[in-house]
A and B are shown apart, each in its own frame.
Chain A
Amino acid sequence: MPEQLLFAMEVTLNGLMAGVMYALVALGFVLIFKASGIFNFAQGVMALFAAMTFVGIQNGQVPFSHLINAIFGTKIHYFGWELHSMVAILLTVVVMIAMAWAVQRFIFRHLVGQEPIILFMATIGLAYLLEGIADLMWGAEIKKLDVCLTDQTCLPQGINLAIDETTFNLFGYGFFIDNLDITATIVAIILVAILVAFSQYTKQGRAMRAVADDHQAALSVGVSLNYIWILVWSVAGFVALVAGIMWGAKSGVQFSLSLIALKALPVLMLGGFTSIPGAIVGGLIIGVGEKLFEFAIGPMIGGATENWFAYVLALIFLVFRPQGLFGEKIIERV
């Protein structure tokens, strides 16, 4: 096979992997939008917050240590333990559930029945609030994130999650693939399987869809709106944690992590705001699209097309198919 074609295949493969990473973020948006009609601008910050909390707990960092030290003149920074990453993940999930409860109790419970735009504004406020809390809690420095997924030492002997080789041979050509991307793909597949099973087959999933559709009707069949909303924010928090860990492992845990939310927007416009498979397919199309475009057209127009390609694609979709590939068709009855 010609070298050029094989290289294009490699680019496509890497694009698919990158797309999975985008899809992970987009999933969180879809979940909340489906179940409550809220476009959650804070999803990116939630991923940041989750990743910081995870690293902080794992390294035994004392939360709010700067604040405590400033007030009491102490010099505490670390508890002095190193937690297993699975334990840290579990504890972070608990923190995310507490966050979900607080978000529902103190913000959205008071906004029931408001216009979507007001709810959207509230999530912008939430994004800044959460960013401030994350800063205050864990400090602003860039941290390295080690999970079993990138560092194999914490797993029992003989089990190897990631593939050590980063290149493999096919048609005499060495394909280069990032270990982390492969892990991210596997994690994404598992996550989507869990989410689909949860939302399609369980009582809670059915209740979530019911609440999304009609509040009054949901109440009349015995569904507590409050409970479902806390559940939805918890699930979105969990997805944010997964996305945060994956992106954190890729580029370090730093505040620019919250900007991954912007990359999720074109994914959502492509896939539709209400479809879980849409988020995945949208992510993959954007991932492959931007890599292939950079490879094929990039050199002709001076490169750096990856920065804007996704947004232009999203714009085109907005003009011709505003509900996205998988979104529910918007029909207004007069």
Chain B
Amino acid sequence: MLDQTEGYTTADGRKIGGVVMEMKNITLRFGGVVAIKDISFDIREGEIRAIIGPNGAGKSSMLNVISGFYNPQEGEVWYRGSKRPPMKPYQVAQQGIARTFQNIALFEGMTVLDNVMTGRLTKMDANVFRQAIWKGRAEKEEVENREKAERVIDFLEIQHIRKTPVSRLPYGLKKRVELARALVSEPSLLLLDEPMAGMNVEEKEDMSRFILDVNDEFGTTIALIEHDMGVVMDLSDRVVVMDYGKKIGDGTPDEVRNNQDVIDAYLGVAHD
């Protein structure tokens, strides 16, 4: 059992801090269907936390609970040391939790740069008149936001498509633009919903590299959902395994890999 306040050191020597987000006994129902049943786990400062499980296990539902798209019927969400009341997704985003979507939700009509700039919306405070005439504080903010956006664009190697409308981009690049938009808001928790779904091996490797680099460079805490066991085991520090809405495993990749319940869930059990 991990200590609540102090962190731990990973196998590759990174220091992981205290608890950023804690889910306590979360239960989520849709009518009679129980999508998530009594699940508890935590996410710690600076770690890459994965949620895995077979199809329909409730992984995406869990991410939607964290990002406020669903509010659970039972259980508590604790964020940065205080209990979070039921919230709308935009309020969660304003608190510093950014996310990407499984089916990509970008502003198709805007350019890549404009898309990334929308990630800075929560960071703009100058009043509307200042902004309209582009003077004083608004100007300073705009310059700063633009610098941050360009830096993230550079970092994710999408400079060459900065001015391209998103609707013209191939799938893999769209995923990267979405990551850029989430990243530019300097989130204290970054949620990635199947960042590698539908990608070929090469694209998957690229994306894995970016996720590791983001975590390394910006110290961003990341929670991600993934199907591909191999990728998850390489990327993440700790893994939650879900099956049929229940948590069946939680620990380092090695611990999870040797967990009998997890093996049964993924490979099936012989009924004899």
Binding site for B on A (CB under 8 A): 194, 197-198, 201-204, 206-207, 209-210, 212-214, 216-225, 328, 331
Contact = CB atoms under 8 A, between A and B. Distances in A.
Contacts of B93: 219-222
A218 B67 CA distance: 13
Q: Which 7 A-B pairs have the closest CB atoms?
A: A222-B93, A217-B105, A213-B107, A202-B131, A222-B122, A219-B89, A197-B132
B84 to A, nearest CB: 15
Contacts of B124: 203
Contacts of A223: 90, 121
B109 A202 contact: no
Which applies to chain A's interface (DSSP): helix, strand, loop or mixed? helix
B88 interface: yes
A214 B182 CA distance: 15
B121 A206 contact: yes
B117 interface: yes
Interface string B67-90: 101000000000000000000111
Given A216-B101, A219-B89, A219-B93, A210 B107 contact: yes
A217 B133 CA distance: 27
B110 A222 contact: no
Nearest to A219: B89
A197 B89 contact: no
Nearest to B68: A219
A233 B77 CA distance: 35
18 contacts: A198-B132, A202-B132, A203-B121, A203-B124, A204-B128, A206-B117, A207-B118, A207-B121, A212-B109, A213-B107, A213-B108, A217-B101, A219-B89, A220-B67, A220-B100, A221-B119, A222-B121, A328-B109
Contacts of A213: 107-110
A220 B110 contact: no
A201 B107 contact: no
B75 to A, nearest CB: 22
Nearest to B117: A206
A201 B132 contact: yes
Interface residues of B, number: 33
B98 interface: yes
A224 B88 contact: yes
B99 interface: yes
B233 interface: no
A269 to B, nearest CB: 20
B105 A214 contact: yes
Interface string B169-183: 000000000000110
Contacts of B218: none
Contacts of A207: 118, 121
Contact of A210 (B121, B133, B167): B121
A209 B128 contact: no
B121 A221 contact: yes
B161 interface: no
Given A203-B124, A203-B128, A206-B118, A220 B109 contact: no
B119 A209 contact: no
B159 interface: no
Contacts of B128: 198, 202-204
A210 B122 CA distance: 13
Given A214-B107, A222-B122, A224-B91, 12 more contacts: A197-B132, A210-B107, A214-B108, A217-B101, A219-B93, A220-B67, A220-B93, A220-B98, A220-B101, A221-B93, A221-B181, A224-B88
A27 to B, nearest CB: 17
B90 A219 contact: yes
Contacts of A210: 107, 118, 121
B90 A197 contact: no
